[in-house]
Amino acid sequence: MIRLDFSNILTEEIGHNGLSLIEIENEAKKSISLLSKKPYKELDFINLPFQDTSQIKELAKKARDYEYFIVLGIGGSALGPRVLLEALSPFNNLRKKNRVFIYDNVDPATFKYIIEIIDLKKTLINVISKSGSTAETLASFLLFWRMIRDRKLDVRQHFIFTTDSEKGNLKMIADEYEIPSLEIPKNVVGRYSVLTPVGLLLSEVIGIKSEELLEGAKEISERAYRENLNENPMAYLASCLYLMDKLKNRKVLVFLPYSDRLKTMSEWFCQLWAESLGKEGKGTTPYPSLGTTDQHSQLQLWMEGPEDKVILFVSIDNHGFQEEIPQEFHDIEGLRYLGGHTLEELINTEQLATEMALRMNKKPNMKIIIPKIDSFIIGQLFQFLQITTAMAGLLYGVNPFNQPGVELGKRLTYGAMGKRGFETEGEEVKNYLKRQRYMI
């Protein structure tokens, strides 16, 4: 089970930079009360661990017959699958089958490199967009669609759509061309969708049992509404991060896992936190980091830079590799002291030393502790962070499930690209490009 250590955020540990336990517990109780009222239908993501995955498994069985599996999506539709790939099958693409490419950023060079590697006859393409209107995803879909058709291949054998079950462009195409489809549940938004077919299809394709992910998440979901704070670490974490902002003006949240396998989890969490909470002038800025790497690039700033950060460690008890470092060069102290220890000892000691250094300098930090990295624990961690984020949104008094600040950029893109109904935005883009620029 995931544990949360918030000792180093208390006043008795870091003095005036810290919070009192009673402050934290009062807000934690408030977050549970707010969540229990279920003010948003999108809180349905908490029930995802109880879903039926038989259709996902059926399509995944078909997908495993292909050499290449391409995911087209962006935001939560790409980051969630990427976390699963890198955390649970990090060198998957060295295998001969089920090699995965996640194409999200519509960088034309990346598209070119993927096309040069894959054989379309041996490729299955999973197009993910709940709305069916995501410009980046649809553009890459159109390119692949044309190439599949140009080669006289059966589109039904080379595409799977993951989208809305009732409406949208992808739904219309799926109905017309009999494309196999999986449903993103009606009340689940993109950044909370990793435990839907968005992530579960990929997991099954690369040999990760979706039921293990969901079993882990279920343990967390069952705690979400519990009023006993000792059984609800998400409420504690949401409370601490909210109060660090409101009472201590700590506006930057550094997410710092000590595992290469969780590097993309940092990026996934930062999208979740930023897009859920950054509204109405509220929220904090999440910063993705990686231990021990960023001890050699960011730690100086955390220790002696602006007093605006909270560090959230993720430490792993058992990394799954216990090879001992050889005892060589006994006369060179710079090498001798490492001998007889393991890489796991070293990475965990570096995490502990960084935690202690921050505490000794009165810098607020907390630690999520996971026993190991496997599908059960990753399912727990996803749901733990999602529920924490939703609770924090309720404490801030914002809707953690919308993203109104994203819409204007979309409309301007539609206008510039000539989409009907967005002519005004198209003119605004033209006028913007005509204005006087100051450049050197």
Q: What is the pLDDT of residue 83?
A: 98
Omega prior to 292 cis, within 30 of 0: yes
pLDDT digits (tens, 9 = 90+) for 7-44: 999 999 999 999 999 999 999 999 999 999 999 999 99
Please, are residues 107 and 225 in contact by the beta-carbon 8 Å criterion? no
Confidence of residue 322 (pLDDT cuts 50, 70, 90): confident
The torsion of the CA quartet 282, 283, 285, 290, rounded to 10 degrees, works out to: 180
Is a pLDDT exceeding 90 seen at residue 133? no
Please, are residues 90 and 197 in contact by the beta-carbon 8 Å criterion? no
Q: What is the pLDDT of residue 95?
A: 84
Asked about 330 being catalytic, the answer comes back as no
For the residues of 223-290, what is the DSSP string, one character each? Answer: TTT-S-GGG-HHHHHHHHHHHHHHTT---EEEEEESSGGGHHHHHHHHHHHHHHH--TT---EEEE--
Q: What is the pLDDT of residue 436?
A: 86
Mean pLDDT of 156-182: 95
Is a pLDDT exceeding 90 seen at residue 323? no
Assigned CATH for 47-208 = 3.40.50.10490
Is a pLDDT exceeding 90 seen at residue 305? yes
Please, are residues 60 and 182 in contact by the beta-carbon 8 Å criterion? no
CA gap 260, 317 in Å, rounded: 14
Catalytic residue (one of 204, 275, 355, 425): 275
Q: Which residues contact 356 (CB under 8 A, 6 or more apart)?
A: none
CA gap 183, 42 in Å, rounded: 15
Please, are residues 404 and 279 in contact by the beta-carbon 8 Å criterion? yes
* Minimum mean pLDDT range among 253-267, 298-312, 318-332: 318-332
Confidence of residue 109 (pLDDT cuts 50, 70, 90): very high
Residue with tokens 């950023």: 105
Asked about 410 being catalytic, the answer comes back as yes
Is a pLDDT exceeding 90 seen at residue 104? yes
Beta bridge partners of residue 125, listed in sequence order:
70, 159
For the residues of 121-174, what is the DSSP string, one character each? Answer: GGEEEEEE-SSS--HHHHHHHHHHHHHHHHTT--GGGTEEEEE-SS-SHHHHHH
Topology of the domain comprising 3-37+216-396: Rossmann fold (3.40.50)
Domains 3-37+216-396 and 47-208 are alike in CATH topology: yes
Residue with tokens 């006994």: 330
Is a pLDDT exceeding 90 seen at residue 220? yes
SS3 369: strand
CA gap 50, 103 in Å, rounded: 30
**For residue 275, with 0-12 CB atoms within 10 Å meaning exposed, 13-18 middle and 19 or more buried, which class applies?**
buried
Confidence of residue 381 (pLDDT cuts 50, 70, 90): very high
Q: Over pLDDT 90: what percentage of the chain?
A: 92
103: nearest Cα among 123, 88, 131: 123
Beta bridge partners of residue 124, listed in sequence order:
69
Q: What is the pLDDT of residue 430?
A: 93
Confidence of residue 97 (pLDDT cuts 50, 70, 90): confident
Residue with tokens 């070119």: 112
Asked about 296 being catalytic, the answer comes back as yes
- Residue ranges of alpha helices (H) inside 324-399 are 333-336, 343-360, 375-396
Residue with tokens 């054998």: 157
Q: Which residues contact 200 (CB under 8 A, 6 or more apart)?
A: 53, 56, 210, 213, 214
Catalytic residue (one of 37, 96, 152, 296): 296
Parse the chain into domains and list their residue ranges.
Answer: 3-37+216-396, 47-208
Q: What is the pLDDT of residue 90?
A: 92
Please, are residues 64 and 419 in contact by the beta-carbon 8 Å criterion? no
Q: What is the pLDDT of residue 165?
A: 86
Q: What is the pLDDT of residue 1?
A: 87
Find the helix or strand (DSSP H, E) in which 304 lies.
Answer: helix 299-304
Confidence of residue 71 (pLDDT cuts 50, 70, 90): very high
215: nearest Cα among 50, 436, 100: 50
Catalytic residue (one of 29, 246, 282, 410): 410
In single-letter form, the type of residue at position 50 comes to F
The average confidence (pLDDT) of the chain is 96
